[in-house]
Structure formats: C-alpha cells, structure tokens
Structure 1
C-alpha cells in the first residue's frame, strides 16, 4: 500500500542562473575606470562562483497566469507565452511558493499575436490553482510513484552524512535482480526522475529514486555546497550498497543533468562500480567548463570573468570565497577529454537546443567513444525535457538500448517482449 502523499515542497528541473545575476554582471562590466572594472570583475566572478555551487532554496515564480477556466475534463489554464510554454508536451506548474502543483497537458492553443497559450489541467496534486497569479514551469510531471499507479515504499539510505530518503518501487513480480537508481539534477528533487520509472518498470527492474546531499531532502554537508558531482556520487554509492543488500545483482544508473555528472563519477570512482552495468543519461553535464563558458557567452559576460569564477571553484585558495570545503576538480569531470576512459555502456538522450547544458559535448563524447556511448538526439526539448516532448520515443529508446545492452542478464526474451 502506498503512503499518502504530502504536498510537495518547491522543486523542479535544473535551470540557468537567475536573470538578476546576469544583470549584475553586466552592470559591473560597465564601470568606468580600470581599477573599478578590475575590482568589479573580481567581485562578480566571486559571486558567479558562489552561485554555481550554492543550492537555491527559493525558486522564482516568473510565469504569469492569465486565467483558469472550467471544471473536470474541461478545465483549462491560459498562460503568458514564453519560450518554454509554447513547446508541446506535458509539464508541471508550481505555484504558491511550491505548495501548489498542477500537471498540464499538451498545447491546445497558441496565439502569437496575443502572446497566450492554453493548456488542459490534467491533475491538481496540491494547492488552489484558481487563486494562482504566478508560478513556475517545470519538466517534472508526476508528484510521486503513486501517480504512475505504482506501489512504493518510503525508505532511508544510510550515507556518510546520515539517512537520505528514497522511494523504493518494487519490480513487478520480482522480474529481475537488476535495479535502476534514479539521480535527479541540480536544483531539482526526486520528482524530476520519476519519468525514468516507466521504462525501468517495463524491463522488470526494481527502482530506487534517491535524494543526495544538499538537495533539500538528504542531509546537508557542513559547507552546504554542491560538489557538482564530485561529492554527491558517494550518496549514490550508498544507494548501490542498499540495493545490493536487498537483492540486487546489477545496477543501472539513470541521471538527469548534474545527475549525469554524478552518475559518471560513481561509475568512475565508486568501490562498487563493478556492479554498474549501464548509464542512462538525460541532458548530462559531461564537461562543466563548457557549461559555465556557455552560460557566460549566452549572457554576454566577458570571458575573463567566467574564467576567474572557474579558477575560484577549482583552486584551494578559492574556498575562502566560494565556501566549498574542497575545490572542484573540473579535469576529473571532463568526459570529453576522458572519453576513452569511460568503460560503462552509456546511453545519452539530449536535445540540440538545450539552453543550459550544451549538446556539443555529448555529441563529442559519443563520437570519441562509439564503442561505449550511444547518443539519441532530440529537438525542441530544451533542458531535460526530452521525455516531455516525445515520451514514446524516450521510453522506447531506453527500453530497446537496455534490452540490447543487458540482454545476457535479463530473463530470456523478457526485455524485448516488454519493450515492444
């Protein structure tokens, strides 16, 4: 029996840094004197570096609600058109500081001249949508495994920092001893990775949907900072240990965005890495330097400011400014340069128009290590919304690839049969 759901706290998919941050950077660059420019650039680079590794506890609700109409199957919401709301697919709308959560269906009407979009309200998980004035768009769709019709348990995983909550979704009829571990991205929570349960369930996997340090669910570190994958993998290792203790023989890691960087680090560094048979990565960060450079260029930030921010994150001296307990090892997380060292079969699903984590490094990684890396290219999905735009293709790609990759470990004929 699944436990009753609680109202979700604020969560969502990984996003770019706030507009206010980029505006502040741009303003600083405009100062008149050389000394003022140097001082401003240093201060802004420090701010840049801190923002990268500091979890955001309050998410900006910048999506305007124009109207909510009807009831039941006829219920509709009219929103201001934005680059996100005009893209087809199912999404979530969070409002009332994250206490309200509604699932919205596929695009029904888009009026460019009026700048409005209309979508059906599929489910209202929590809150009073009629009273919503503003909210936040998200690629999250489901609130808990129960929304998919799956039984689940709330479990606690012992990590080096304390217990981290997870959802355990048992395999149907104990079909296989392969377990899937779902790892969400930066600024998100477990709800982001619920989409991965669908193909995992088809393949007969038991799934663990995990939390990790500093994500607001799991214990925080003393510095309260993201390690961008270089520290969080230890919590994934603890989840692997939990799975092995409870009957797993093989592990597949699913990772979204920074969750991809975490999964790659686990496959590289964990003492249990021999049990990781495959990686399924959605819009993964495979080169943080490229991500940070992309954000700076996109927002017209001088290259030197961005490089100084990277230096502060990577150098032991910068810890006094960033608040990190240890510097970030960008070289260790540069999987484009380290492509031939990746020896775990990996499926990457990535949209060419990703506005936060560029598609290019994923393509380079796949090109440099075609033996281990398979790339499924999507379009018009932006960041971590490949499933939202085309769930059938996303799920079938995962099922087909995992069936072929894990064929000797699945029940004969099972994976192929369930995937078709």
Structure 2
C-alpha cells in the first residue's frame, strides 16, 4: 500500500472517530432517579408540556401556595433528578416558600428529543415551561425567577434577555464561550485532547441542527437582576470569562452581581451550602418581591 493510501485510511478513521465523538456529545446519557419532591416533604404533580418545535417535556410542579415561582434549570447530562445541585436547590426553594417548576431539558431525563443543543433550542424549553405555568397557574406566576446551572445558566442568561415576564435569574457556572468550554469538556468528560474539538465542533452542529450559543454576546442585552456564580477551580469555565461578562453587563445593568468562590464546576452549593443558600436566598428575596 502506498503512503497516499495509508494517509487516506488514517484520515477516514480520524473523521469517523470525530463523528462518533460529536454524536456522543449531543446524545448524553439520560439521568433518571427515584426521588421526588414527596421525599422532601412536599406534594407535587407530574406535568407535561410541549415546545414550539413539537417536543414533549416532562417535569414536576410543586404548588407551595405562593404567587412567586422559581424554575431550577439543570446542566448538560443532568436532569431534575440530579442530586449534587438540583435536589438541594429544589429543597431550598421550597423551604424558602417559592413554588417550583422543575423539568428535564430536551434529550435529558424523561423529556423527548434526540439531541441536545447545549443552550440553543433549550431556550424553547424554558419558554414552554413558563407558558405552561402562566396558562395553568396564572395566580402562581406573578413573579418568576430562574436558577440555572451550567447549560441551565446559559438558558437563564438568554431568558433574561429574550423571554418576557422573568424578573431575575441566578447563573451558576455559566460557560461564556461555548467553543472554549466544549474543548475543555472533551478533556474533562472524555479525557480527549482539546484540539480535537476543532474537528468535532462543526459535526455537533451538523448532527444536532443547533447553533453555537456564546452567552458573552448577551452581556449588552441583559438588563434584569442577575447573580453570576463562578468557581476558581472550574475546569470548564474560567473565572476571567465570567468576569468579562460581568464587567460588560454592569455598564448597562446596575443589578448584576458576581460571586467568585473556590469551587469546581457547579460545586459551590456542595462545598459551601449555607453560604450559597444565603447569597441566592438574599438575591431572590430582594428581586422576587
């Protein structure tokens, strides 16, 4: 076999491997669990609602008797059953007296959808959840807040800029440059070199049909109260990137806050639970009215 033939075979194998990695990235394993809000001492309702593009999403509605509702938004590969940050967040919000609407993003948990777009079409998911809340429980939707983690933090930032009726949001560990976070994610999740993302990146967009969302582009659009949380030991999101958003946003938004901790990705609530609850509780209490 000639060197040209060997090169072609190696190239084809490399492209096939890149395509495999891209497919795996947009089809994360579904995290399912057996706990419910009932285990936290609260009655709940299983709910289903449909997105603009025809996907059925599933979640929990917990009516806590308030006119204020908070939506906790999970991250990539997680779901409402995630125990590290979703369960304590749901419990915290309920103890604070808020109603909670927790749901699985597309391609996660028990929701429909084959591919995740990591913050692009997930905005439609948030829109659908809020529309369901307003239609079915308008008296519970007088004030609506968001608490998002990672991918959910991306959706939180976008929602503050693009979805009407949301009063405030908490964005914990928000990737500001999805291409950079994606490259770091290859190393973090799959132990692969970051440079491989150059080849994987266009394939993820081709397969999923989604576009790449960079929240940094929303720094000049968000004008609602926003609490940013960033961790110095985060392998996916650099503190300087979150600070860059904060510095740009505060030029137009006097109600943006930045809290930097010593935690890894979405781990502040685990390492500093009482401080996290204090900061988030004070922020929501101030802006939820």
TM-score, normalising length: structure 2: 0.82
1:353 equivalent to 2:244? Answer no
The alpha-carbon deviation at position 377 of structure 1 amounts to 1.7
Q: Residue 262 of structure 1: which of 155, 165, 169 is its match?
A: 155
Q: Residue 375 of structure 1: which of 250, 258, 275 is its match?
A: 258
The alpha-carbon deviation at position 56 of structure 1 amounts to 1.8
1:182 equivalent to 2:72? Answer yes
Task: Give the 5 Å matches for 1:255-334.
Answer: 255-269=148-162, 273-296=163-186, 299=191, 301=193, 303=195, 305-314=196-205, 319=206, 322=207, 324=208, 326=209, 328-330=210-212, 333-334=213-214
Question: Cα gap change, 1:349/1:146 in structure 2, threshold over 3 Å: closer, same or farther?
Answer: farther
Task: Give the 5 Å matches for 1:20-419.
Answer: 35=8, 38-57=11-30, 143-160=35-52, 161=54, 163-171=56-64, 174-175=65-66, 177-192=67-82, 193-220=86-113, 224-245=114-135, 246=137, 247=139, 248-269=141-162, 273-296=163-186, 299=191, 301=193, 303=195, 305-314=196-205, 319=206, 322=207, 324=208, 326=209, 328-330=210-212, 333-370=213-250, 371=253, 372-379=255-262, 381-406=263-288, 410=289
Q: Distance in 2 between matches of 1:288 and 1:56?
A: 20
- Where do 5+ consecutive residues of structure 2 fail to align? 1-5
- Where do 5+ consecutive residues of structure 1 fail to align? 1-32, 60-97, 100-125, 127-142, 411-420
Q: Distance in 1 between matches of 2:182 and 2:50?
A: 33
| Max Rg structure | 1
Deviates more, 1:201-210 or 1:247-256: 201-210
2:3 corresponding residue in structure 1 = none
TM-score, normalising length: structure 1: 0.58
Q: Distance in 2 between matches of 1:296 and 1:307?
A: 11
The two structures, once aligned, show a CA RMSD in angstroms of 2.6
Number of aligned pairs? 272
Q: Distance in 2 between matches of 1:48 and 1:209?
A: 30
Structure number with the bigger relative contact order (C-alpha 8 A, sep ≥ 6) is 2
More strand by proportion, 1 or 2? 1
2:117–2:211: 8 Å Cα contact kept in structure 1?
Answer: no
2:79–2:105: 8 Å Cα contact kept in structure 1?
Answer: no
The alpha-carbon deviation at position 263 of structure 1 amounts to 2.7
